[in-house]
Structures are given as structure tokens and as C-alpha cells.
């Protein structure tokens, strides 16, 4: 029991690790702030392309979305960071993470937005067009608000997934929270920094997860 406490819940080591882990948290949040909006925008554009009337546009979008949903994000990330230099393209860890996550996230957000767009009845757009709204105005003021609202819990769940996925950035030595905690662990030979990081993830994500459940119940009722 004593051993478990000193190995996993060693307050002294946690306090020492805290500055570095918080610095890592800062980088984790920075990744999120860059990668989530990018993924949302990319996903929305891909979804719009995937429901386009132009067959070539539609099929290319669907193929790309399928591709990046099928490639494991860790493989994608390592390929971009460690594989592309062989083609003469060397990226900083942050750029590699931003690009890899953009591709991966966009694909998942695209699937969600596509379901949202398809959930809006065709009569909505027809009513809007019949009053003279252009196709873009119809999309912005009539279709998208409804599409987004219909899939809001799914979008939020995916945001949680993305936040968790940022820990993958540790494999390209980007000093986000997991990387920082792992570093302190290896210096102190103690797992407490990892427990600290896990606790911070939990504190961040648990409220979000609760919020999503509330939304889901409200939409179901």
C-alpha cells in the first residue's frame, strides 16, 4: 500500500513535476486551439463537397474522407514527421502535428457534418430558395444552423476525442502534457507525474462528457 502511494501518488514528486506538466498542458491547449477549428472548417468543407451535386467533387471528397478515417492517426503523424523528410520535406513537430491532426480531424468532422446536412429536409432549402435566397444564403441561414444543431452532441464528442488524441503528439517530441509527464517520470523513476497528467485530462474532459450526455438526453426527449 505504502509502495503504491509513493510510486503513483507521491505528492512531493507531483509538486516538482507540476511546472513542467502545466507547461505541457499549455502546449496541449495550444494544439487544441489550432487543430479543432482547423478540423471543423476542413470537415465542413469536405462535408459540403461530399453532398455536392457535382459527381467528381462528391467522389473525391468521399474518397479523401474514407482514406483519412482508415489511416491510424499515429501512423499518419509518424509518416508526416519522419517519412516526409525522405521526400525532402522536413517539418517542425508542431507543423507535423497540425497537418496530421487537420487531415484526421477533418475526416471525422466531415462524416458528422455530412450526416447533419442530410438530416435537414429538402423542403427547407426549397422554401428558402422560393423566397429568393441564394444557394449560399440558404446554406448559411437555413441549412447549416439546423444541420449543426442536429449533430451537436456528435461534434462535441469528437472534440473530446481530439483533445485526447493530442497526447499522440508526444511521439514526435512535441512537449505537450503527456510528453512532459513522461519526461519527469523518467527523471524521477516514479509514475506520479503520469497520474498527475491523467488527473488533469480527467478534470478537463469529464465536464465536457457530462455536458454532451445532457445534450443527448435533451435531443432524445
Smallest distance, Å, CB 119 to other proteins?
12
Question: 57 vs 133, which CB is nearer to other proteins?
Answer: 133
Smallest distance, Å, CB 149 to other proteins?
6
Q: Report how many residues bind other proteins under the rule CB under 8 A.
A: 18
Asked whether position 178 contacts other proteins by CB under 8 A, the answer is: no
Question: 149 vs 210, which CB is nearer to other proteins?
Answer: 149
Smallest distance, Å, CB 125 to other proteins?
9
b/e string for 102-135 if b means 16 or more Cβ within 10 A? bbbbbbbbbbbbbebbeebeeeebeebeeeebee
Question: 30 vs 152, which CB is nearer to other proteins?
Answer: 152
Asked whether position 54 contacts other proteins by CB under 8 A, the answer is: no
Which parts of 104-163 interact with other proteins (CB under 8 A)? Answer: 121, 123-124, 126-134, 137, 141-142, 145-146, 149
Question: 88 vs 123, which CB is nearer to other proteins?
Answer: 123
Question: 141 vs 218, which CB is nearer to other proteins?
Answer: 141
Residues contacting residue 167 through CB under 8 Å, at least 6 positions apart: 28, 176, 177, 178, 201
How far is it, in rounded angstroms, from Cα 159 to Cα 29?
12
Smallest distance, Å, CB 167 to other proteins?
36
Question: 19 vs 145, which CB is nearer to other proteins?
Answer: 145
Asked whether position 96 contacts other proteins by CB under 8 A, the answer is: no
Smallest distance, Å, CB 126 to other proteins?
6
Smallest distance, Å, CB 113 to other proteins?
16
Note the residues at the interface with other proteins (CB under 8 A): 121, 123-124, 126-134, 137, 141-142, 145-146, 149
Amino acid at each position: 500500500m505504502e509502495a503504491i502511494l509513493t510510486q503513483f501518488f507521491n505528492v512531493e514528486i507531483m509538486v516538482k513535476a507540476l511546472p513542467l506538466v502545466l507547461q505541457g498542458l499549455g502546449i496541449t491547449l495550444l494544439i487544441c486551439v489550432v487543430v479543432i477549428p482547423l478540423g471543423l472548417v476542413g470537415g465542413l468543407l469536405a462535408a459540403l463537397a461530399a453532398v455536392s451535386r457535382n459527381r467528381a467533387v462528391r467522389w473525391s471528397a468521399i474518397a479523401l474522407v474514407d482514406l483519412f478515417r482508415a489511416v491510424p492517426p499515429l501512423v499518419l503523424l509518424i509518416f508526416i514527421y519522419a517519412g516526409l523528410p525522405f521526400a525532402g520535406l522536413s517539418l517542425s513537430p508542431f507543423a507535423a502535428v497540425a497537418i496530421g491532426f487537420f487531415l484526421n480531424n477533418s475526416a471525422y468532422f466531415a462524416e458528422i457534418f455530412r450526416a447533419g446536412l442530410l438530416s435537414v429536409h429538402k423542403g427547407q432549402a426549397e422554401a428558402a430558395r422560393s423566397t429568393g435566397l441564394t444557394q449560399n444564403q440558404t446554406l448559411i441561414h437555413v441549412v447549416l444552423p439546423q444541420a449543426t444543431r442536429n449533430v451537436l452532441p456528435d461534434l462535441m464528442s469528437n472534440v473530446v476525442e481530439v483533445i485526447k488524441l493530442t497526447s499522440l503528439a508526444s511521439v514526435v517530441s512535441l512537449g505537450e502534457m503527456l510528453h512532459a509527464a513522461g519526461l519527469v517520470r523518467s527523471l524521477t523513476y516514479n509514475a506520479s507525474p503520469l497520474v498527475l497528467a491523467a488527473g488533469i485530462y480527467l478534470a478537463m474532459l469529464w465536464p465536457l462528457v457530462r455536458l454532451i450526455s445532457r445534450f443527448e438526453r435533451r435531443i432524445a426527449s
